[in-house]
Amino acid sequence: MTSPLETDFPEYRPRPAGAELALQGIRVVDFTHFIAGPLATMILADMGAEVVKVESPGKGDDFRQYPPMIAEFGGGAPFIWTNRNKRSIALDLKSPEGVALARELIAKADVVVENFSTGVIERLGLGYNTLRESNPKLIFCSVSAYGRTGAFADRSGFDPIAQAESGFVSMNGYTDREGVRALAPVMDISTAMMACNAILGALVARGRTGKGQAIEVALFDNAFLMTGYAPLQQIFTGNEPRRPGNTSPDTCPSGVFRAKDRSFFINSGNTQIFQRLMTQVLELPDVAADPAYATNKDRVERREKIFALLQDAFEKQPWSHWQARMRSAGVPCGELRTVGEAIRSPEARDREIVTRVPHPELGWVPNVALPIRYSDTPLADPVLAPRVGEHTDQVLAEWLEHDSARIRELAQAGAFGAACQAGSLKAPIPWAS
């Protein structure tokens, strides 16, 4: 993975030696898979929590198989994106021994996060009402599609379903065709953020009360937040949002225009910006002074005419010309980029969004930073997502003080799956090789 990382991205700069972590000392047992749950626990890990990811022996999280597969990493790029800074332990939760170990780990934990189908965690004997008896300080976060109670609790769901059923899809695209989903898993990502926020709030509350609590975060509920103020607009007006394409339905002129060489977006969020655009950028003082364009409402009603006027002007010069003028005039603007262009852009390099992190075996691995910067408790240095069960021995030794002999007894009893159970006591456990 050395090339092209060395030329494309800056080297990661480690956090100051000895600096504390925001969630230092917080232990998290992570029973999540796919995106929303794992991303939430990864954020906690980045903040310094000790996160132990519990996975099925052998296969692990299904998200490991999502492409593109990176042979050197033992999984796909999407999995790497959601599981940084965690340790993995392989437990067979279909075996009494595996469940018993999970319960022992939870007894030592501050937080549990799970996103099984409704009812599964209770059938395993690991539900909140059971666990809080032995660990009353436990914070138990449940991430689901439609909640854990009510008529729809048994429904499964993924990001695109939440986009569709919340009305989010209906808001995006163009008026002459069906709405379109966002390709990025925006509902999963935002649900992860909500779950993380909820856990942080519960930790603060526990600091006052000494008690843990149960948390529920549902993908469907969160999807409505992601529709913005559209629900209230619909309630007050009775009108459905119109798909605006690459324009803003609320401000004008805001949208995509084409310069001589490429497309860009401008956002005229108020009349002052419109005035600067017309006078300082385009040098059209007559348009700026025209009473027909005096208010945003006036401009929205005359959007087609304004857009035609702007496009006629913009296409005569390259983007670099307009970019310089708009930035000088304080007109918000940005070029339309591909993902590849964006991650290699001057802004991304300056903000160190994507960096290359040294790896003892692979040379360098890419890392996409969390968008948080603490002055006194900087985020943890990134560590590549673990292989399935990579840290089983280590976690059992550190958390439960089990020695190698005890771990082999548990392996023979089936705690770590059939592959370990069938092996000789003297044979190496699969993850230890």
Q: Which residues belong to the active site?
A: 188
Residue 238 Ramachandran class (φ > 0 left, ψ -120 to 50 alpha, else beta): left
* Contacts for 50 with CB less than 8 Å, ≥ 6 apart: 25, 26, 27, 28, 87
- CA dist 340 and 248 (Å) reads 26
Amino acid at 247: T
Amino acid at 5: L
Q: If DSSP codes are grouped into helix, strand and coil, which group holds residue 3?
A: coil
Q: What is the CA radius of gyration of the chain?
A: 26
Q: If DSSP codes are grouped into helix, strand and coil, which group holds residue 354?
A: strand
Residue closest to 371 by CA, chosen among 348, 395, 388, 342 = 348
Residue closest to 81 by CA, chosen among 199, 223, 2, 185 = 185
- CA dist 91 and 402 (Å) reads 15
Residue 35 DSSP class: T
